[in-house]
Structure 1
C-alpha cells in the first residue's frame, strides 16, 4: 500500500548555512525508493509517495541519507497526508479571515504535554495567542513570526526539550496538504 508523506526539514538554507538544494533533496528522496517527489520553497518541504513504510522509518532513513549526502545532520518531521489534513481542519483560529503571515503551525516530532507551556503567561503576549494540537502548535502572530515575542518564548528549551520542532506559515501548511493529496 502506498502512502503520501511530507517531510519538513528543520533549519536548512538559512543565512547561507546548511545548504540543501531542493533538486538534490528530491534526488536523495528518490534514491530512497520514493516516487512522485516534489519540493516546495527552499526551506525544506518535500512531498513524496512511499510504498509499505511507516512515517518513523521514513524519517530515520531520510535523515541518514541527508547526512550522508550533505555531511551534516538535519532533523526532519515526517507526516502523512491524513495528518496534514487534520492539522488544517483542527485549526482553532479563523484561518480564512487571517493573512497567512499571521498564522503558523509548529510541527513537533512527538506529543507535547500542556505542562511544557506552564511557564508562559499568555496574557503577557496579547494579542498573540497559541493553541496546542496533536503534535502541533498553532500560533497567531498578528505582526508576523519575525516580530513575535511569543514565538521566541515557545521555542525555549523548556518547551522543546527532547523534541524536533519546525514551524511553517499557513500558506505552507495548506500547500503541504495540496502536495500530499492524491
Structure 2
C-alpha cells in the first residue's frame, strides 16, 4: 500500500475542482484505499458523480453537511431542474445551523480514529472564506492531523497559510463557460 500524508489543494474560480478530486477518489478506491469524503456547505445529493461513488460504500464514507434542497430527489431523477432560487446557498451560509463546524468536527473524529487513508474536505475553502469556521480552527486541525492520511481540500479560495502547508496546489481558472451565454446547467455534465 502507498504511503499517505500529503496535503492537496484545488482552488480557484473555475469549474471542475470537485470533479477533479472525485477522479483522485476513484484512483484511491481502485487501489484499495479507504476514503472519507466530507462535503462542507452541500446537503443535496443529485450530483451524478456523487451518485456513482455511492457504489463503493464498503471503502467510501461520505458525509454531507449542508441544507438539502426539497427538490433534490426530483432533480436527481431528471423530473425537475434546479430553479436557481438560491435558497441552498443562503441556508448553507447561515452560521446558526453549524454545518461547517459539524463537518470539521467529523473530519477530526475520522482523523483521530484512523479510519481512512484519503480524506477530502470539499468546499472547506468556502466555509473558511465565509467565516463559518475560523482559519485558526482549521490550522489547528491541519497541525493536529496524524500525518498518515492524504488530505485533499477544495474551495474557490484558500487561506495563504493553508496554501503554504500544502504539498500540491492546483488553481482552477475560469477562462470560458457557457453559463455566461445563458446555457443552464445540464444533467450529466454540470451535475
Question: TM-score over 0.5 for the alignment?
Answer: no
Higher normalized contact order (CA 8 Å, seq sep 6+, divided by chain length): 2
Looking at secondary structure, tell me which structure has more strand per residue. Answer: 1
TM (normalized to structure 1)? Answer: 0.30
